[in-house]
Structure 1
Amino acid sequence: MALVGAVAGLSAAPAFAEDGDLVVFDWSGYEEPAFHPRYVEKHGDSPTFTFFGDEDEAFEKLRSGFKADLGHPCSQSVVKWRDAGLLQPLDTSRIEGWNDLLPGIMAMKDLATTADGTAWFMPWDWGNTSLTYNTEKIAAEDVTSLKAFADPKFKDRVSLPINVDDAFALAALVIGLKDWTQMTDEQFAEAAAFLREVHKNVRLYWTDSTEIVQALGGGEVDLAWAWNDASTQLAAEGQPIASNKDTAEGITTWVCGYVLLKDAPGSIDKAYDFLSAVNADPEVAKYIVNDWGYGHANAKSMAAVDPAVLAAKGYEDVEKFVDKTLFQSPVPPELKLRMIDEFEKIKAGY
Structure 2
Amino acid sequence: MQTKIITPVTRRDFLAAGTGLAAAAFSPHVFAFKKPKERLGVALVGLGYYSTDLLAPALQKTKNCYLAGIVSGTADKAEVWKKKYGIPDKNIYTYANFDQIANNPDIDIVYVVLPPSMHKEYTIRAAKAGKHVFCEKPMALNVRECEEMIRACKDNRRSLAIGYRCQHDPNTQEFMRIAREKSLGKVQLISCAAGYKESRADNWKVRRSMGGGAMYDMGVYALQGARLAAGEEPVSLTAQHVVNRPEIFREADEITHFQLHFPSGAVASCTGSHGINTNFLKVNYDKGSLHMDNFSAYENNKGQSTLGEINFPVDNQQAKQMDEDALSIMQNKPQLVPGEEGMRDIRIVEAIYQAAKSGGTVKLA
**Fold similarity call, TM over 0.5:** no
Normalised by the size of structure 2, how large is the TM-score?
0.33
Name which one, 1 or 2, has greater alpha-carbon Rg: 2
Which gives a bigger RCO, structure 1 or 2 (Cα 8 Å, sep 6+)? 1
Relative to its length, the structure with more helix (as a share) is: 1
Q: Name the TM-score, length of structure 1 as normaliser.
A: 0.34
Structure with a larger share of its residues in strand: 2
